Amino acid sequence: MRTLLAALAAVLCLGAAPAPLICGPVNQAALMSATPAPTLSTYRLFTDEDAVHPNARVTPYALNTPLFSDYAEKSRFLYLPPGTHATYRPTGALDLPVGATLVKTFAYPFDLRRPGEKVRLIETRLLIHRRSGWVALTYVWNDDRTEARLKRAGARLQVSFIDVHGQSRQVDYHVPNQNQCKECHALSGRIAPIGVKARNLNGDFAYPDGRENQLVHWTRTGLLIGAPTPDKAPRTAVWDDPREPLAARARAYLDGNCGHCHNPRGEASNTGLFLNLEEARPVKFGVGKRPVAAGKGSGELETDLVPGRPDASIIAYRMASTEPGVMMPELGRSVVHDEGLVLVRDYIAKMQAR
Amino acid sequence: MKALLTATVATAALLAGQAGAKVLTVTPGGDAQEKIQTALLDAKPGDTVMIAAGRYELTDGLSLDVAGVTVKGAGPAATILSFDGQKSSGEGFLITSNRVTVRDLGVENCKGDGIKSKGVDQITFKNLRVEWTAGPKSTNGAYGVYPVASTNVLIDQVVVKGASDAGIYVGQSKNIVVKNSEAQFNVAGIEIENSMNADVHDNLATHNAGGILVFDLPNLPQMGGHSTRVFHNRVIQNDTQNFAKKGAIVGDVPTGTGVMVMANRDIHVFDNEIDQNQTAAVMIVSYTQAYDDLTYNPLPRDIAVHDNRIGKNGWAPQFPGGDVIAKAMGGTIPPVVWDGVTNFTPKGMSGPVAVRVHFTDGPVANLHFSAPGNVFSAKPQVTPTIDDGAIAEPKAVVLPKAQAAL
């Protein structure tokens, strides 16, 4: 019966490429329903069952500096309902209409040096803009890559891959529970998107018909209104592009990896440590600031950030830890991001002592 | 009679308001993480998540984000949430919704903090045990119960043991009651920090490094802590060597401190039994570290210490230079020690803010520091009392009726 249905679906979608199993537009009703769909395919965000080819009105995008997620490869998409568009904002996330959905798939290629090959899909997270506000859901993939099922209470998955140095790595991958999505995505206690800021989208993306700045592409295709030309819009540095200034890269990294909680409206607001890119007061981004509720996370150190001395800076200490209660961020990683740590240590080392 | 009627009506209304409320029961066995977390996600306002007696091995933090939910166990020794195998999250259990009660259960060996609430109204911790079972260790989690940036906080019949910072910690909150609770073998027993209007009473703080602390720190979203009453507590034999990691502000609390007030205003310490604390019964000090915050006042002011039952304290003070100061005072530190700093002028003001004290549990040592932490400027002077006259006591903290009735 199921085979028959699939065959029927294939016939109905004839002509669309590559022969999809899922057809019809994005299932807006399912996205808007208060009861989440049990499987990802219900939403028809993709035209293939392993979520590679986006459906109409689902646009891939990338961030200049993303969150580190245990070396997982992440692909991101924005769905906008027909007749709607995003509105530019110079700071914070773009203004997205009700119905907009952000889609992020976490995956590991067998070998990080060969992206796109022998990929294991882990989970696909959705952030859906309902009338009542944003809702976070996550779907965990089966081993056959044929189906992702709703997982509300979180999960642990054992993942192995070969890293960029050719070393075999094991990761105790954590799928967050639904509340934990909000821990990072909270702004004044309500769920909000993090990545889709104009400044973090202000960079090129390799579209099927060529590279183009994302703000330009989105404007040209009617997805975005109100954006200035890229040179007039703010821009987050690319954390791993050595051509960019060290401080800009490090602050971009801290923004993307810490600033979602460590900002005046985030989950870690009570710490008084603000690592979002907009924060300009040195003491607020850690210079000379003593910890408050760090407990053992202080690691016998007395200051969050000591210019010139990464070994004396709690920020670097906590980035280098994998011990719960010490490691930062608290969620989203189980291994150290070696390259990120090198960047932040280098930044602190080269900061001028006041 | 009228009061009784009102109470009955209030209870009835409360019950009516919860019509249709469900009990979601979780039993031991299977994937404890998934079972408890799913119940916490499925609960609707008014529901109770009942965690049956038994031991639950958790691998990650638990969290609740639904308002009006009660999470209840079968007793602090019967329902045990064990975080021995915890792999992530900064705390065992995080609450981010209003009107939540957590009661009748035990939480063990969290890798970070025990039970935290952030940014909520009407949070109640009742009849709980939060414990690091291997005893005091610097690798234990920081706080046992940890409401922060919350309003209407009730902590009642809570026992915390082994926290590497404060056992019961209330930070940047407003309208707080901590009562009938017990803190043992923590660095700080009970700590009220950067908070307004707190009543801390009928608690036992023993075998901590410091018993009860009331602190105000700079560079935080909520500063200017004030109006805390510490009364009718037993602050006895706080003798655990301070085991906090350096960096934590409580690492500076001398082992054997009974009650310590740092910065803050309108703090009243009275009717407590304070005995067998080797450093001092009551210390009133300024914040001594460098800070970069023009709105912060580092001095304690309008502080009253009276009518406490003060036993033997201060025989071997554990702060730098303490032995010298003790010798100068005849061998023991007097019951009340004050750093005596009075000359702080906040930015934009023409003169110092008035500092008034009412210390009648003498003798009192005034160290006459010229500035916060300036030990070398000390000119210790002991007098029977130091009394600028009576200081109006903050009003009793009143919690919302439904919460106070829990």
pLDDT digits (tens, 9 = 90+) for B55-97: 999 999 999 999 999 999 999 999 999 999 999 999 999 999 9
- Looking up tokens 């310590």, which residue turns up? B260
Q: For chain B, give percent helix, strand, coil, nearest 5.
A: 10, 40, 50
pLDDT of residue B323: 86
How many helices (H) and strands (E) in chain B? 4, 32
Q: Do B89 and A331 touch (CB under 8 A)?
A: yes
CB distance B148 to A270 below 8 Å: yes
Domain assignment of residue B198, yes or no = yes
Say how many residues make up chain A: 354
Spell A82-108 as b/e; 16+ CB within 10 A means b.
eebbbebeeebbbebeebbbbbbbbbb
Task: Name the residue among B165, B221, B249 with its Cβ closest to that of A272.
Answer: B221
- Which residues, numbered 132 to 161 in chain A, qualify as contacts with chain B under a Cβ-Cβ cut-off of 8 Å? 152-156
H or E segment to which residue A174 belongs: strand A168-175
- Smallest CA–CA distance, residue B268 to chain A, in Å, is 24
Number of domains making up chain B: 1
Residues in chain A closer than 8 A to B249 (CB atoms)? 290, 292
Domain assignment of residue B55, yes or no = no
Q: Calculate mean pLDDT across residues B149-174.
A: 98
Spell A136-173 as b/e; 16+ CB within 10 A means b.
bbbbbbeeebeebebbbbbbeeebebbeeeeeebebeb
Q: Per the structure block, which two tokens stand in for B84?
A: 């021995």
Chain B CB within 8 Å of residue A293 CB: yes
Which chain B residue has the Cα nearest residue A281? B292
Q: Do B110 and A325 touch (CB under 8 A)?
A: yes
pLDDT of residue B121: 98
Q: Do A290 and B119 touch (CB under 8 A)?
A: no
Phi, psi of A137 (to 5 degrees): -135, 150
Residues B329-340: tens digit of each pLDDT: 889 999 999 999
pLDDT band, very low/low/confident/very high, at A165 (cuts 50, 70, 90): very high
Q: Do B171 and A292 touch (CB under 8 A)?
A: yes
pLDDT of residue B19: 62
Q: Calculate mean pLDDT across residues B155-165.
A: 97
Domain assignment of residue B239, yes or no = yes
The domain in which residue B117 lies consists of 112-404
pLDDT band, very low/low/confident/very high, at A293 (cuts 50, 70, 90): confident
- Smallest CA–CA distance, residue B114 to chain A, in Å, is 10
Higher pLDDT pick, B375 / B111: B111
Domain assignment of residue B193, yes or no = yes
pLDDT band, very low/low/confident/very high, at B294 (cuts 50, 70, 90): confident
pLDDT at B193 over 50: yes
Domain assignment of residue B75, yes or no = no
pLDDT of residue A11: 47
- Smallest CA–CA distance, residue A151 to chain B, in Å, is 10
Rounded CA Rg of chain B: 22
pLDDT band, very low/low/confident/very high, at B320 (cuts 50, 70, 90): confident
Q: Calculate mean pLDDT across residues B202-227.
A: 96
- Which residues, numbered 97 to 116 in chain A, qualify as contacts with chain B under a Cβ-Cβ cut-off of 8 Å? none
Chain A CB within 8 Å of residue B33 CB: yes
Domain assignment of residue B321, yes or no = yes
Phi, psi of B114 (to 5 degrees): -80, -90
Q: Calculate mean pLDDT across residues B257-279.
A: 98
Chain B CB within 8 Å of residue A318 CB: no
Higher pLDDT pick, A95 / A291: A95
Q: Calculate mean pLDDT across residues B358-374.
A: 93
- B228: number of Cβ within 10 Å: 26
Chain B CB within 8 Å of residue A27 CB: no
Domain assignment of residue B103, yes or no = no
Spell A16-53 as b/e; 16+ CB within 10 A means b.
eeeebbbeeebbbeebbeeebbeebbbbbbbbbbbbee
- Which residues, numbered 295 to 314 in chain B, qualify as contacts with chain A under a Cβ-Cβ cut-off of 8 Å? none
What average pLDDT does the structure give for chain A?
92
Residues A221-237: tens digit of each pLDDT: 999 999 999 999 999 99
Chain A CB within 8 Å of residue B38 CB: yes
Whether the CA torsion B205, B130, B111, A186 is positive or negative: it is negative
Which chain B residue has the Cα nearest residue A175? B60
Please state the domain extents for chain A.
2-232, 246-350
Domain assignment of residue B46, yes or no = no
Beta-bridged to residue A173, according to DSSP, are A157
Helices (H), chain A: 2-12, 28-32, 178-185, 198-201, 214-220, 246-257, 314-319, 338-350
Residues B87-138: tens digit of each pLDDT: 999 999 999 999 999 999 999 999 999 999 999 999 999 999 999 999 999 9
